Amino acid sequence: MAPKVLVSDKLSETAVQIFRDRGIDVDFQPDLGKDKDRLADVIGDYDGLAIRSATKVTEKILANAHKLKVIARAGIGTDNIDKVAASKKGVIVMNTPFGNMITTAEHAIALMFAVARQIPDANASTHAGKWEKSRFMGTELTAKTLGVIGAGNIGGIVCDRARGLKMKVIAYDPFLSEAKADKMGVEKVELDDVLARADFITLHVPLTDQTRNILSRENLEKTKKGVRIINCARGGLVDEAAVADLLESGHIAGAAFDVFEVEPATDSPLFGLPNVVCTPHLGAATTEAQENVALQVAEQMSDYLLTGAVTNALNMPSVSAEEAKVMGPWIKLAAHLGAFIGQMTDEPVKAINILYDGAVSQMNLPALTSASVAGIMKAVNPEINMVSAPVVAKERGIKISTTHQDKSGVFEGYIKLTVVTDKRERSIGGTIFSDGKPRFIQIKGINIDAEIGAHMLYVTNNDQPGIIGALGQTMGENGVNIANFTLGRSSAGGEAIALLYVDAPVPQKAIDALQSTDLFRQIKPLQFDIG
């Protein structure tokens, strides 16, 4: 059955057609997002939800989203999605951060020009029949210093455009390396340098606990006299009341805001002040940008629902279509390793340690780690997936650590998963053979070579004659057909393991019969999702 997607906001017909062309069953209801009760009633029928800003995806709506796998926002902002609730539900949240980069950067440059030349006030004055040529004395951008807070995707474009305007660009961004700054032709500085040196300051960072009120009253008072402030990023980054006070005192020469702490912004201390340009969150409001983000949403959602490729996800590691093809078997292996340990572990898990060796160590390790953790936790809650598992693990205080190393054995690559509880450590290793199928290659430090099936039986015993015969005879007498049989031992006469791949779940009467022989120390039926 084809995946089913609901489009609950206004998306272009071209984007809707992409869903259809990719074989997705799409339900285009562009006004449904405004009716939260109706949305909550119908959301349970869909695998995907494509939205803009009008749809509010709340915990209540997600509670009814029994099939939902992905929510995709056409645009960068996802404040209208309860991402914590979505993650706990196992729903991927995507956005399209690149579709409106140029548009938003251009808007910041446009506002910079507008505030430098007082264009809105001059326009209003001229429309009013005045000719106040001497009133609107502006300033050039050429040779001025632009301080950019956040030199990522959008900020980087602003830097490039500003250099084209012959401005000197300094950038504050903790994630910007010196090498990247040199390549961009900007000077990497600390925030205090931006405040002290910049003639114009423009912000291009998300709103986080670290960036909230980054231009506080205290920091604004450190700025160069005559500075002009531009904010096309997020409301809450700048103390608007402080900007208003410093404008009236003459310390700040002008300001341009496209975003506000409270939106829609029907009131602001900035409104009505001279040389303040305000626009209603128009950063992404161009025909090209709206079309771009709509098309990206359709492609991203289709890729995920049809191939498993994850792009621009906010609550799980992204996996490209190319990675999905190569990593598919490894992700399955990681999940199987986790499932084995999850089913074998009865005590609360304290820590999960994962070793990636050889070729697999060069892959997308966060995705593999998520798959392993999900496999472990599914034993307790079958609803957990790669999205929700890290969230649940964090809530439970489980420490997750990973190590990767160059090829150290006979296999081109392998994964070793170790779980720590108060009572013991339990480990299992696995690899992918040339046939593309996952194998268990080590359990409790004992080497094995076990093909993985939907139904398996794990047995431990002291190494001694007669074990194979007893296992085979008991299974046969109880109607269990063995598809594959793997043995391993620590040493002659030491601990031994048998792992049986069987055609159907092992009945309790067979387990009881094995236990009655007193030959076996541990007997555990296992199930794996090999679909």
Which segment of 101-110, 142-151, 271-280, 485-494 scores lowest on mean pLDDT? 485-494
pLDDT digit string, tens, across residues 290-305: 889 999 999 999 999 9
pLDDT digit string, tens, across residues 499-515: 999 999 999 999 999 98
pLDDT digit string, tens, across residues 315-340: 888 787 777 788 889 999 999 999 99
pLDDT digit string, tens, across residues 25-75: 999 999 999 999 999 999 999 999 999 989 999 999 999 999 999 999 998
Catalytic residue among 263, 383, 425, 477: 263
Compute the average pLDDT of residues 425-432.
94
- Residue 456 confidence class, pLDDT cut points 50, 70, 90: very high
pLDDT of residue 306: 93
User: What CA–CA distance (Å, rounded) separates 211 from 498?
Assistant: 56
Burial class of residue 342 (count of CB atoms within 10 Å of its CB; 0-12, 13-18, 19+): buried
Name the percent of the chain lying above pLDDT 70: 100
Task: Provide the H-helix boundaries in 128-281.
Answer: 153-164, 178-184, 191-197, 217-220, 240-249
Structure tokens at 41: 């009633």
User: What CA–CA distance (Å, rounded) separates 531 from 523?
Assistant: 25
Residue 380 clears pLDDT 80, i.e. is over it: no
In the block, residue with structure tokens 């506000």: 260
Residue 75: left if φ>0, alpha if ψ -120 to 50, beta else—which one?
left
Long-range contacts of 166-174 (CB under 8 A, 24+ apart): 166/141, 166/142, 167/141, 167/142, 167/143, 167/200, 168/143, 168/144, 169/145, 170/145, 170/146, 170/194, 170/197, 170/198, 171/147, 172/147, 172/148, 173/148, 173/149, 173/205
| 495 tagged catalytic | no
Residue 531 clears pLDDT 80, i.e. is over it: no
- Residue 147 confidence class, pLDDT cut points 50, 70, 90: very high
Give me the DSSP letters along 113-148: HHHHTTHHHHHHHHHTT---TTT------TTPEEEE
- Residue 174 confidence class, pLDDT cut points 50, 70, 90: confident
Catalytic residue among 22, 234, 426, 455: 234
- Tell whether pTM > 0.75: no
Q: Where are the beta strands (DSSP E) in 8-94?
A: 25-28, 48-51, 70-73, 92-94
| 281 tagged catalytic | yes
Catalytic residue among 107, 161, 204, 281: 281
Q: Is 494 helix (H, G, I), strand (E, B) or coil?
A: coil
Please count the other Cβ atoms lying within 10 Å of the Cβ belonging to residue 213.
15
- Residue 479 confidence class, pLDDT cut points 50, 70, 90: very high
